[in-house]
Amino acid sequence: MKLYNCATAPNPRRVRFFLAEKGITVDMEEVDIIAGDNLKPGYLKINAAGLVPVLQLDDGTNLCEAPAICRYLESQRPLPNLMGANPLETASVEAWDRFAELNGMQAAGEVFRNSFEPLKTRGLPGSTLVDAIPALVERGKTRLAAFYELLERRLGITQYLAADRFTFADITACCVVDVANFLKLPPPAANRNTRRWHDAVSARPAAKA
């Protein structure tokens, strides 16, 4: 298997983190998003939407979208379980993973894509070319603050995001916080549940993948 990766992007990191938790090694091919490698005809044949990551199977099948890739990998290597051990837990993992992605990742992405000069004509991930909209930087910060508030509240109820154990939802939320840290928009220092959780997730060896 080969992962079309981008070392600096958060969505490929979700898959690398997941692979490392499973103890699966794959070949990697770097796709430099900033340089526009993901918009070149060769890559658009692999993913027409111009997004990373893609997991290419040995028969040439290209699997797109980080959660779909990870669910497939879990079917091939069920342990340690990261996507849910029963239907209710699976629903919780998917719902909280989506919470982290749609509220957190998209918020951080909105800040980054609309303020980073080299991407000023690429305000969205992938092949749809739209100009940056400066008003989205502030909107992204507002969304990120709301995400942090809900995250803190949730982590006061459960030890990890989807359950009282580590799952894929924690991988996604950790990738959000680390991107936000890079953007100098960390969780509020008073959010002690978030800090406890982020320290625990970040201490996992797979977090370095």
Whichever of 34 and 91 has its CB closer to a copy of itself, that residue is 91
Whichever of 17 and 99 has its CB closer to a copy of itself, that residue is 99
- Residues in touch with a copy of itself (CB under 8 A): 48-49, 61, 63-65, 67-69, 71-72, 75-76, 87-88, 90-92, 94-95, 98-99, 103, 123-124, 127-128, 130, 133, 135-136, 139, 142-143, 146, 150, 153-154
Q: How near is the Cβ of 208 to a copy of itself at its closest, in Å?
A: 26
Q: How far is residue 118's CA from residue 11's CA, in Å, rounded to a whole number?
A: 20
Whichever of 82 and 207 has its CB closer to a copy of itself, that residue is 82
Say if CB 177 and CB 17 are below 8 A apart: no
Torsion of CA 46, 50, 54, 59, to 10 degrees: -10
Whichever of 35 and 95 has its CB closer to a copy of itself, that residue is 95
Those residues whose C-beta lies under 8 Å from the C-beta of residue 140, and which sit 6 or more positions away, are 107, 108, 109, 110, 111, 112, 114
Measuring CA to CA, how many Å separate 9 from each of 30, 58, 181? 11, 24, 14
Q: How near is the Cβ of 197 to a copy of itself at its closest, in Å?
A: 17
